[in-house]
Amino acid sequence: NAGVTQTPKFRVLKTGQSMTLLCAQDMNHEYMYWYRQDPGMGLRLIHYSVGEGTTAKGEVPDGYNVSRLKKQNFLLGLESAAPSQTSVYFCASSYFGQRNYEQYFGPGTRLTVT
Amino acid sequence: GQQVMQIPQYQHVQEGEDFTTYCNSSTTLSNIQWYKQRPGGHPVFLIQLVKSGEVKKQKRLTFQFGEAKKNSSLHITATQTTDVGTYFCAGRSGETSGSRLTFGEGTQLTVNP
């Protein structure tokens, strides 16, 4: 049981390049999330998904796209990277229920855009 | 939109001293969660509070949810070096399937041995 995994762990991009971050979970969770973490700003939600085939915008969606073609995977895409997207990206997943909304986080991807 | 503010941003303590971080929401919350992130690591869930005025304890950690469900606190008694990390509160303002967590900025705790 690996929990939540993220690929890659580190990446350096040049401005204008594109890339896809992959998140996978093996807990059969319905909900999945992408956050970015910047110093002094906590975790900000980029996009999220409440089930296979569905996605929704979070707090800071501009410049990112997502897809959830399979329940266990959630992809985050940057079509044209900008230096402002330099950040640590965390994926998380959670079970949906009346009582338990605990989120499980992956190890993160450190992205630098030069 | 909903805002969750957390203070202080940084706290340095000597080992054995107590530590408290405070979380305030601009809206009434349905529940609040606390997470801990060790340096270089990822956030890990600590606890969830749901009821007005709720108090929960985990060994040296005490979590409180305000009567108005708009604020919360985490208190650590007699800190240890293993408590080092950033503590985040995260509030949820709705019960529907679309409701999301809004994270505070976090309080970074350092403990001098």
Could you report the per-residue pLDDT of B7-28, keeping only the tens digit for each? 999 999 999 999 999 999 999 9
User: Would you mind telling me the total number of residues written for chain B in this entry?
Assistant: 113
Residue with tokens 């229920």: A97
Q: What percent of chain B has pLDDT over 70?
A: 95
Mean pLDDT for A79-102 is 88
> Does B48 sit within 8 Å of A100, measured CB to CB?
yes
Q: Does A10 touch chain B (CB under 8 A)?
A: no
> Mean pLDDT across chain A, nearest whole number?
94
Strand spans (E) along chain B: 4-7, 10-14, 19-25, 31-37, 44-49, 55-58, 61-65, 71-76, 85-92, 101-103, 107-112
Q: Write down the pLDDT at residue B2.
A: 75
Mean pLDDT for B43-69 is 97
> Does A90 sit within 8 Å of B42, measured CB to CB?
yes
Q: Write down the pLDDT at residue A95.
A: 86
Residue type, B94: G
- Whether A15 contacts A81, CB under 8 Å: yes
What's the gap in Å between the CA of B50 and the closest CA on chain A? 9
Confidence of residue A98 (pLDDT cuts 50, 70, 90): low
Within the 36-55 window of chain A, which residues sit less than 8 Å (CB to CB) from chain B? 40-45, 48, 50
Mean pLDDT for A39-57 is 92
Task: Evaluate if residue A44 carries a pLDDT over 90.
Answer: yes
Residues of A in contact with B102 (CB under 8 A): 45, 59
Q: Write down the pLDDT at residue B92.
A: 86
